Amino acid sequence: MVKETIRVYARVKPLGRQQQAGIYSVDDNEKSLSSLEIIVPRDLADGFVNNKRESYKFKFQKIFDQEAKQDVVFDSIAKPVAECVLAGYNGTIFAYGQTGSGKTFTITGGAERYSDRGIIPRTLSYIFDQLQKDSSKVYTTHVSYLEIYNECGYDLLDPRHEASGLEDLPKVTIMEDPDQNIHLKNLSLQQATNEEEALNLLFLGDTNRMIAETPMNQASTRSHCIFTIHISSKEPGSATVQHSKLHLVDLAGSERVAKTGVGGHLLTEAKYINLSLHYLEQVIIALAEKKRSHIPYRNSMMTSVLRDSLGGNCLTTMIATLSIDKRNIDESIATCRFAQRVALIKNEAVLNEEIDPRLMIVQLKKEIQELKDELALVTGKQRTSELSQEELLRLDELLETFLEDNDPDSTLDVGADMRKIKYCFIHVKQLMNHSKISDKKLLSQYIPEEKETNKQTGEELKKLKELLQQRDNEINILVNMLKKEKKKAQDALFQLNAASACSTVFEQSPSINLEESQSPSSCFSLKEAKDFSSSVHRLPFLSRKTGGKMSLGCQEAFEVFKQDHADSITIEDNKQLLKQKFAEAKCLGEKLNEVRIKINHLKGEITQRHVQRAALAVSSPSEELNTLDPVEEKLRTQIEEEKKSYKAMFNRVKGLKIEIEHLQLLIKKVKMKLQKDFEVWWSEETINLQQEKPEMVSSPNTMTVYPQFIKSSQHLSTNSFSDTTRVSPNEDPAGKNNSITSSNPTLKTRTPPSSSTSIPLTGDSQADADILAFIKARQNILQKKGLGNK
């Protein structure tokens, strides 16, 4: 990178024959900067310059006085720049000065003599000369010629047009890429392989410019011309290409309308002949000021095009052309002032190198082939980019063995073959991704499964609870029933006693209204209770006999019979066992719930741990984080243990369920047997009663009830059912369904002949037989218990 301020030179145009020279002096210093002193006489009162001052001194890199020849100017100014351009840097030489000060003469040259050739032809000559001399590089040269007039760009080298005015030339527009690089659309780049071609192009451009100019538009004084030489170079075999360009700029006249001559009035609006020069000055001022962030390059096309030349990647040189006759002294001072500002601008020129992608590809291909050849030489095998089918299979096998091997020291050796190593990595990645997906699936499967298990346990628990409740209720119903039966019997007997009447028939539907007997605190299912009642209480045999109805007495007899039956102990034992099992199941259900909650909690802890470690890995990555987390391991072990106990308990609940079901079946079976036994006994007793005691019936409608029976009935009830609970007190289903009423017309009260109560019979032979059997059964039972009156 070359960091340099813009070099500023001054060239003084020879005085014309009728021109009066201004007073100036040139102090040419070979070693340092040259200085130009301009003396302004005091009588120039209406001048642009403050007339209080007389002497103006300006420093220049070099000052070319009137007699300086074109070749000297070229050698001093343009040659060094051309050399830099050949080395790959950008360069700009621009001429600045008022109209007629010799800008065009300096840049392009005079048309009269060969020796008057200006910088452009000389530079072209020099460059092609150098290119020819340098065989180490391959050069390509292009030229472009742009004229900017009234903010419009024109391509002076477009050969398709025969310009008759500037407007006929193709318009050039500015394009800016995202990197803020300027591109000129429609500006043709004409290749010039040699000096002659390049000079022809320059001539074409100058001709176009000349033709386009009319006395009306005075284009040459008001327009800027930029002749650019583009050079690309590269060393043979190298992919690096150097691009450089040299702008040779002939600016529009810099004169200001300071002297209008019209009454000495200063026309401020016409102060600047050329607005774009005003903007150029703005850019120069901005660049000269340190720490100025915004440089107004965009204000004009010229400053945009010369952006790189001003404060950018360019080695720039300015030539201030001065017309030093008396009349133009103030303009010359203005030019010098401008030059002083320009001299402050620092440019940073860099070598414009870039890689040619096409060349790069060719080079890389060549390198690959060379490496392949080398590899084949070393391995003794020609290697293709694809692995063979056998090689792939072998790799799969190796990978499988490696992945399944639990030994932490196991390694995967596929040899020094990048293709195989890459394949293995891809394979492992696929496996990882797959397992991630299946993990997710498993997790989503596991969660409902767990839910399912919980649901199952819950359902079982509910079922068992219900069963327990059912059993409780069954017992309650039975007790309640018997209690009511007892109460009814008492009431009946009390009535009988009071009225000294005969017995009455009490029949009741065997299907007790359970709905009404249900305790409010009980959550026992009604349907189940009904089912139970029909299966247990309805004695099939007797029900059949009584046409679906069984006498309450019969039922009570059954209850008493049941108590003494050996099987009832078995039933009781089983019931106790069942209760225990229910309790155990309930307890297990609760424990299962606890374990499940604990497992969920542990899982939550693991997730939290993951999140923490992930966050830690992001904030401060360390090796430690890649290893296994001992805390997580511990949590996982705990989960495993909890799962084990969960499973064990779950299995126990399952076992309990089977046990309970079995017990229930057993109870049912024993009950059935008991019923059958009772039925047999009951029918036997009925037959015996009918045969042995026909005399007890004193009339077809009456029978005798012994007073002891009443007592014993009370006694029995107290003994057997004192522990009854959970019976709705405000309901009396038996009472509702019972036919016993004090005003019963069939009820006849009669004093029994031998301290016995006479019970009126129904007239229905079956019912009467039942009543008789009931009384007989009572008596037998009471006798058995030693309560009866023998």
Among residues 22, 88, 91, 100, which is the contact residue for ligand ADP, using CB under 6 A? Answer: 100
Q: Judge whether 276 and 224 are in contact, CB under 8 Å.
A: yes
Find the shortest distance in angstroms from Cβ 329 to ligand ADP: 16
Site string for ligand ADP, 251-270 (x = CB under 6 A): --x-----------------
304 in contact with Mg ion (CB under 5 A): no
Q: Which stretch binds Mg ion (CB under 5 A): 98-106, 140-148, 630-638, 656-664?
A: 98-106
Q: Which residues contact 109 (CB under 8 A, 6 or more apart)?
A: 70, 116, 117, 118, 119, 120, 121, 122
14 binds, among ligand ADP, Mg ion, none (CB under 5 to 8 A by kind): ligand ADP
110 in contact with ligand ADP (CB under 6 A): yes
Judge residue 17's burial from the number of C-beta atoms within 10 Å of its C-beta, 0-12 exposed, 13-18 middle, 19 or more buried: exposed
332 in contact with ligand ADP (CB under 6 A): no
Instruction: Using the minimum distance from each CB to ligand ADP, give the nearer residue, 213 or 474.
Output: 213
Q: Where do we find the tokens 């001299």?
A: 343
100 binds, among Mg ion, ligand ADP, none (CB under 5 to 8 A by kind): ligand ADP
Q: Judge whether 37 and 25 are in contact, CB under 8 Å.
A: yes
101 binds, among ligand ADP, Mg ion, none (CB under 5 to 8 A by kind): ligand ADP
Q: Which residues contact 530 (CB under 8 A, 6 or more apart)?
A: 511, 514
Please tell me the distance from the alpha carbon of residue 117 to that of residue 110, in angstroms, as a whole number: 6
Find the shortest distance in angstroms from Cβ 223 to Mg ion: 9
749 binds, among ligand ADP, Mg ion, none (CB under 5 to 8 A by kind): none
Closest Cα partner for 245 from 228, 261, 233?
Answer: 228
Q: Which stretch binds ligand ADP (CB under 6 A): 92-100, 232-240, 382-390, 453-461?
A: 92-100
Closest Cα partner for 24 from 322, 342, 259, 320?
Answer: 322
The count of other CB atoms within 10 Å of the CB of residue 416 is 8
Instruction: Using the minimum distance from each CB to Mg ion, give the nearer residue, 9 or 524.
Output: 9
Q: Judge whether 79 and 126 are in contact, CB under 8 Å.
A: yes
Closest Cα partner for 525 from 483, 583, 466, 572?
Answer: 466
Please tell me the distance from the alpha carbon of residue 529 to that of residue 520, in angstroms, as a whole number: 15
Instruction: Using the minimum distance from each CB to ligand ADP, give the nearer residue, 335 or 780.
Output: 335
Please tell me the distance from the alpha carbon of residue 256 to that of residue 274, in angstroms, as a whole number: 9
Closest Cα partner for 753 from 713, 698, 714, 688?
Answer: 698
Considering only residues 201 through 220, tell me which ones interact with Mg ion, judged by CB under 5 A: 220
Quote the strand ranges of 73-156, DSSP E.
Answer: 91-96, 138-149, 152-155
106 in contact with Mg ion (CB under 5 A): no
Closest Cα partner for 552 from 297, 237, 778?
Answer: 778
Instruction: Using the minimum distance from each CB to Mg ion, give the nearer residue, 104 or 457.
Output: 104
Q: Judge whether 731 and 487 are in contact, CB under 8 Å.
A: no
763 in contact with ligand ADP (CB under 6 A): no
CA angle 286, 62, 26 (to 5 degrees): 110
Among residues 88, 91, 102, 121, which is the contact residue for ligand ADP, using CB under 6 A? Answer: 102
Among residues 92, 104, 303, 533, which is the contact residue for ligand ADP, using CB under 6 A? Answer: 104
Among residues 91, 97, 153, 589, which is the contact residue for ligand ADP, using CB under 6 A? Answer: 97
The DSSP annotation for 121-135 comes to HHHHHHHHHHHHH--
Judged by CB under 6 A, how many residues of this single chain contact ligand ADP?
A: 13
DSSP letter (8 states) at residue 485 = H
14 in contact with ligand ADP (CB under 6 A): yes
The DSSP annotation for 660-677 comes to HHHHHHHHHHHHHHHHHH
Q: In a 3-state reduction of DSSP, which class is residue 96?
A: strand
13 binds, among ligand ADP, Mg ion, none (CB under 5 to 8 A by kind): ligand ADP
558 binds, among Mg ion, ligand ADP, none (CB under 5 to 8 A by kind): none
Find the shortest distance in angstroms from Cβ 98 to ligand ADP: 7
Among residues 101, 208, 309, 704, which is the contact residue for ligand ADP, using CB under 6 A? Answer: 101
Strands 315-322 and 91-96: parallel
41 in contact with ligand ADP (CB under 6 A): no
Query: In whole angstroms, how far apart are CA 606 and each of 451, 589, 615?
Result: 20, 26, 14
Please tell me the distance from the alpha carbon of residue 138 to that of residue 419, in angstroms, as a whole number: 40
102 binds, among ligand ADP, Mg ion, none (CB under 5 to 8 A by kind): ligand ADP
Comparing every residue's Cβ against ligand ADP, the nearest one is 102
Torsion sign, CA atoms 422, 424, 425, 430: positive
13 in contact with ligand ADP (CB under 6 A): yes
458 binds, among Mg ion, ligand ADP, none (CB under 5 to 8 A by kind): none
Find the shortest distance in angstroms from Cβ 202 to Mg ion: 15
Q: Which stretch binds ligand ADP (CB under 6 A): 98-106, 134-142, 288-296, 549-557?
A: 98-106
Please tell me the distance from the alpha carbon of residue 132 to that of residue 279, in angstroms, as a whole number: 40
Q: Which stretch binds ligand ADP (CB under 6 A): 24-32, 93-101, 272-280, 723-731?
A: 93-101
Considering only residues 271 through 330, tell me which ones interact with ligand ADP, judged by CB under 6 A: 321
Judge residue 513's burial from the number of C-beta atoms within 10 Å of its C-beta, 0-12 exposed, 13-18 middle, 19 or more buried: middle
- Reading the block at residue 570, the tokens are 């078995």
Beta bridge partners of 122: none
Find the shortest distance in angstroms from Cβ 53 to ligand ADP: 26
Instruction: Using the minimum distance from each CB to ligand ADP, give the nearer residue, 223 or 473.
Output: 223
Instruction: Using the minimum distance from each CB to Mg ion, give the nearer residue, 209 or 471.
Output: 209
Please tell me the distance from the alpha carbon of residue 528 to that of residue 726, in angstroms, as a whole number: 18
Instruction: Using the minimum distance from each CB to ligand ADP, give the nearer residue, 65 or 584.
Output: 65
Q: Which stretch binds ligand ADP (CB under 6 A): 104-112, 288-296, 430-438, 602-610?
A: 104-112
Considering only residues 634 through 673, tell me which ones interact with ligand ADP, judged by CB under 6 A: none
153 binds, among ligand ADP, Mg ion, none (CB under 5 to 8 A by kind): none
Comparing every residue's Cβ against Mg ion, the nearest one is 104
104 in contact with Mg ion (CB under 5 A): yes
Considering only residues 465 through 504, tell me which ones interact with ligand ADP, judged by CB under 6 A: none
Q: Judge whether 589 and 457 are in contact, CB under 8 Å.
A: yes
Judged by CB under 5 A, how many residues of this single chain contact Mg ion?
A: 3
Instruction: Using the minimum distance from each CB to ligand ADP, give the nearer residue, 101 or 303.
Output: 101
DSSP letter (8 states) at residue 23 = E
Q: Which stretch binds ligand ADP (CB under 6 A): 97-105, 142-150, 424-432, 683-691?
A: 97-105
Q: Which residues bind ligand ADP (CB under 6 A)?
A: 13-14, 97, 99-105, 110, 253, 321
Q: Which residues bind Mg ion (CB under 5 A)?
A: 103-104, 220
